[in-house]
Amino acid sequence: MFYKIHISNHRLKVFLLIIFYCFHITSFSQEKKRVNIIYADFLESDENIAKNANRLIGSVNIQHEDILMWCDSAYTYTGTNQVDAFGNVRIEQGDTLNLYADKIYYNGDMNFAQAIGNVKLENKSTTLLTDTLDYDLAANIGYYNNFGKIIDSTNILTSVIGRYYIDNNMAHFYKEVEGYNDKYTLNSDTLNYNTETGRFFIVGPTIIRDSANTLYAENGWYDTKTNEAELLKKPVVSNEKQQLSANFINYNGTNGYSSAKGEVQIEDFENNVMIIGQNATYNKESDIATVTDSAVFIMYSETDIDTLFVHADTLRTIPDSIEGEKIIMAFYGVRFFRSDLQGVCDSLVYLSKDSLVQFYDLPIIWNDIHQLSADYIEMQQFSDVPDEMRLVNNSFIVSQQDSNRFDQIKGKNMTGYIIENELSNIKVDGNGETLYYARESENEIIGLNRAVSSNIAIQFKEGKIFKIVFIQQPEGELKPLDQLNDEDKTLSGFEWKINLRPLSKHDIFRKNTIQENISTQENIVDEN
């Protein structure tokens, strides 16, 4: 059975179409609103498609509840609220949502539409582009499973699978997620995005690259408008020169201020330096980083034997006058450990451009059996010549020969040289005094030699004073062992503070306080 109607008069045509359609479709309950044909150039009943099929051709306009549809042609089905629309199809829902496609299969009874071919969903300032979109009209959710793109005023995002929750302004992206604008690029496996605020919610491994840094996290959020982020799971912020990791990172790429908490680790690749702690802040404008709470400064090398570990209440890095170089400051209760050097002081400064370490406020340094102290000490490392150590004001060196015997050197200023991790020689400049055990052979001590000279040059061999050169005529005496009393055995100002010596890289966290039990400390040489 086949019907065909054609009326040239516009108003009469629309009126007859509606009358015909209302007469022909009868099987709806009173509660359901039926599909209404507002306009079409032609209406045909086509039993070749289905017994209840009606074909609309030309400038088709259909309404169902709050849905308006336009297309070139369509099929409606008597007894249902189904419409199959073809050619330049457009669905309008409410004031802000429009859905475009080459064809749309609409089921009003199930509040569902499937759009196929050149699909475009527009909602306010957000546009979704894909090849096939399933749309839940009741929940206002769009689904795609074979690549899609969302564009808004701020960002462009693509993924293989996507869900767009229109009422909540949320888009969920899965598999091969990419996002970008002129400030950043993003790659992820799983990501949620608020189209109204421009904020990403990270729910899987995600990499974000802005103009300065690369951000990685597996949980948290990133605001594409402000370039701020909270990175909550395995977060890392890095660039070519540095890397920051922690349990939590608060990042602001606009003003350059960042903070981190929990197992903080800052690594400077250029200077082979690492700083760890529990709390950290960084100001990009000033290029200053501060780390507190269990803070440790590590100056590492190719071998662990030359790696320096420094602990203090606070660690801070500031830029040096030379680009790329750093000044690292440690202050309050400094303790440090290297296999060949250990020590304590109140504060420490490391200048990367000179490989210079400065120790302030009554520092004490141990090398093998030697204890070095002064008001101020600095040590400079060189790649092709011996490391140099300078002791300034009230310089004092104590070398333990056995449990009761100590060689001692005292002076105003001293300069020492370390070769192959051992103290090799010392130059005393001003007010020089020495007290050392003289030997005829390696195992035979003949007495205690005390000498005074303004300037002295001393050479060590296997930890013992091997050779002394007095620049000026010395005053002194050699006393046999059996004539010594306790006062003879020390120079004024002598203090053996071995109990303060860090025993390992883990012992740097011990406080710099006097310990009653020092017996275990006396074995430090054997243990290290």
Q: What is the pLDDT of residue 219?
A: 97
The pLDDT value recorded for residue 110 is: 92
Q: Which are the contacts of 81, defined by CB distance < 8 A and separation ≥ 6?
A: 28, 32, 33, 34, 35, 64, 107, 108, 109
> For 193-318, where are the alpha helices, taking DSSP H only?
none
pLDDT band at 221 (very low <50, low <70, confident <90, very high): very high
Averaged confidence pLDDT in the chain: 86
- What string of H, E and C letters represents the secondary structure of 428-466? EEEEEEEEEEEEEECCEEEEEEEEEEEEEEEEEECCEEE
The 3-state secondary structure of 23-42 reads HHCCCCCCCCCCCEEEECCE
pTM of structure: 0.79
Class of domain 235-361: mainly beta
Q: How confident is the model over 9-29, as a mean pLDDT? A: 41
Higher pLDDT, 94 or 316: 316
- Compute the 3-state secondary structure of the chain and give helix, strand, coil in percent, each to the nearest 5: 5, 60, 30
The average pLDDT across 380-409 equals 88
The CA distance from 144 to 220, in Å, is 25
Average pLDDT over residues 133-160: 95
The total number of residues written for the chain in this structure: 528
pLDDT of residue 230: 97
Residue 46 banded pLDDT, cuts 50, 70, 90: low
311 within 8 A of 298, measured Cβ to Cβ = no
Nearest to 75 by CA among 93, 87, 91: 87
Mean pLDDT of 119-132: 96
Q: Is the pLDDT of residue 254 over 90?
A: no
How confident is the model at residue 510, as a pLDDT?
86
In order of 8, 179, 340, 350, the CA distances from 422 in angstroms are: 109, 57, 7, 21
User: Cα-Cα-Cα-Cα dihedral of 66, 69, 75, 78, to 10°?
Assistant: 20
Query: What percent of the chain is modeled with pLDDT above 90?
Result: 59
State the DSSP H helix or E strand holding residue 481, giving kind and residue range, or none if neither. Answer: none
Whole-number Å distance between alpha carbons of 449 and 407 = 9
Q: From 264, 255, 262, 202, select the one nearest 237 (Cα to Cα).
A: 264
Do the Cβ atoms of 274 and 300 come closer than 8 Å?
Answer: yes
Confidence of residue 303 (pLDDT cuts 50, 70, 90): low
Q: Which of residues 256 and 178 earns the better pLDDT score?
A: 178
Q: Note the pLDDT of residue 56.
A: 92
Q: Does domain 1-129 sit in CATH 2.60.15.10?
A: no
